[in-house]
Structure 1
Amino acid sequence: MEYVLAVTLFAISASITPGPNNILVMTSGVNFGVKRSLPLLTGICVGFAVMLLLVGLGFSYVFSRYPSLHFVIKCLGVLYLLYLAFVIAFSSAAIEGKEQHRPLSFINGALFQWVNGKAWVVASGAIAAFTSVGGEFSGDNIVIVLTFLLVSFPCVGVWLMFGSMLKNLLNTANRRRWFNLTMALLLVLSVIPVLKEIVTAL
Structure 2
Amino acid sequence: MAVTPGPNNILLAASGLAFGFRRTVPLLLGLAAGCAVQLLICGTMFSWASAWLLDARPTLAVVGCSYLFWLAYRLTRAGAPGQREAAIPVSAVTAILVQWVNPKGWVMVLNACVLFIPKEGGLTYVAFMVVLSPLIQLPCTALWAWGGDRLRIWLKNDQSLRVFNMLMAAMLAAISGWMLVDELLAP
TM bucket normalised to smaller? 0.7 to 0.9
Question: Are the structure 2 counterparts of residues 42 and 189 from structure 1 closer, same or farther at C-alpha, using a change threshold of 3 Å?
Answer: same
The CA deviation string for residues 111-138 of structure 1, in whole angstroms up to 9 with x for no partner, is 222222221221111111111133x621
Structure 1 residue 43, shift from structure 2 partner: 0.8
Work out whether residues 16 and 156 of structure 1, in 8 Å CA contact, stay in contact via their aligned partners in 2.
yes
- TM-score, normalization by structure 1: 0.81
Structure 1 residue 45, shift from structure 2 partner: 0.6
Work out whether residues 29 and 37 of structure 1, in 8 Å CA contact, stay in contact via their aligned partners in 2.
yes
Tell me the equivalent position of 1:139.
Answer: 124
Structure 1 residue 36, shift from structure 2 partner: 1.4
Q: How does 1:165-184 map to 2 (within 5 A)?
A: 165-184=150-169
Q: How does 1:25-64 map to 2 (within 5 A)?
A: 25-58=12-45, 61-62=48-49, 64=51
Tell me the equivalent position of 1:19.
Answer: 6
Structure 1 residue 186, shift from structure 2 partner: 0.7
Percent pairwise identity: 32
Provide the rounded CA distance (Å) in 2 between the counterparts of 1:60 and 1:86: 36
Aligned residue pairs total 186
Q: Secondary structure at the match of 2:153?
A: helix
Tell me the equivalent position of 1:159.
Answer: 144
Q: How does 1:43-192 map to 2 (within 5 A)?
A: 43-58=30-45, 61-62=48-49, 64-65=51-52, 69-93=56-80, 95-97=81-83, 100-134=86-120, 137-192=122-177
Provide the rounded CA distance (Å) in 1 between the counterparts of 2:112 and 2:146: 27
Q: Secondary structure at the match of 1:17?
A: coil
State the Cα RMSD in Å: 2.3
- TM-score, normalization by structure 2: 0.87
Q: Secondary structure at the match of 1:168?
A: coil
Provide the rounded CA distance (Å) in 2 between the counterparts of 1:60 and 1:116: 21
Q: Secondary structure at the match of 2:152?
A: helix
Unaligned ranges ≥5, structure 1: 1-13
Work out whether residues 2 and 141 of structure 2, in 8 Å CA contact, stay in contact via their aligned partners in 1.
yes
Amino acid at match of 2:40: L
Work out whether residues 117 and 125 of structure 2, in 8 Å CA contact, stay in contact via their aligned partners in 1.
yes
Provide the rounded CA distance (Å) in 1 between the counterparts of 2:117 and 2:50: 20
